[in-house]
Amino acid sequence: MLLSNDFGNAEFDHFNNLAKEFGIEFNKDNKNLVQNNQFEQGKVVVPKNNEIFKTANKLYLKEISSLKLSGNARSVLDWNGDKVMAVSKYGKGTVYALGDPWLYNEYVDGRKLPADFQNFAAANDLSFWLLKQANTVSQTRQPSEPIRAFVVRTGQSVADLEKSINGENKVVDLIGGAGMQTRVAIQHDETRDSATAELHDESDDVYYVLEGSAELTLGGKLENPREATPGEWKSEKIIGGETFTIKKDDLIVVPRGTPHQRVNSKGKTFSLILIKIFAEPLPAPKPKSE
Instruction: Please report the pLDDT score of residue 142 as a whole number.
Output: 76
Per-residue burial over 160-193, b if 16 or more Cβ lie within 10 Å, else e, is: ebbeebeeeeeeeeeebeeebeebbbbbbbeebe
Average pLDDT per block of 10 residues along the chain, 290 residues long: 87 93 94 92 94 94 93 95 94 91 78 89 93 72 82 93 93 90 96 96 97 97 96 96 97 98 97 95 68
How many CB atoms neighbour CB 51 within 10 A?
A: 9
Instruction: Please report the pLDDT score of residue 138 as a whole number.
Output: 60
Cα–Cα distance, 67 to 215 (Å, whole number): 75
Give the angle 147-151-212 at the CA atoms, nearest 5°: 130
Instruction: Please report the pLDDT score of residue 143 as a whole number.
Output: 83
Instruction: Please report the pLDDT score of residue 109 as a whole number.
Output: 78
Alpha-carbon dihedral 53, 59, 64, 70, rounded to 10 degrees: 20
Domain parsing of the chain, residue ranges: 2-139, 155-278
Question: CB–CB of 242/218 below 8 Å?
Answer: yes
Cα–Cα distance, 81 to 60 (Å, whole number): 17
Instruction: Please report the pLDDT score of residue 271 as a whole number.
Output: 97
Instruction: Please report the pLDDT score of residue 55 as a whole number.
Output: 94
Question: CB–CB of 63/35 below 8 Å?
Answer: no
- CATH superfamily name and code, 155-278: Jelly Rolls (2.60.120.10)
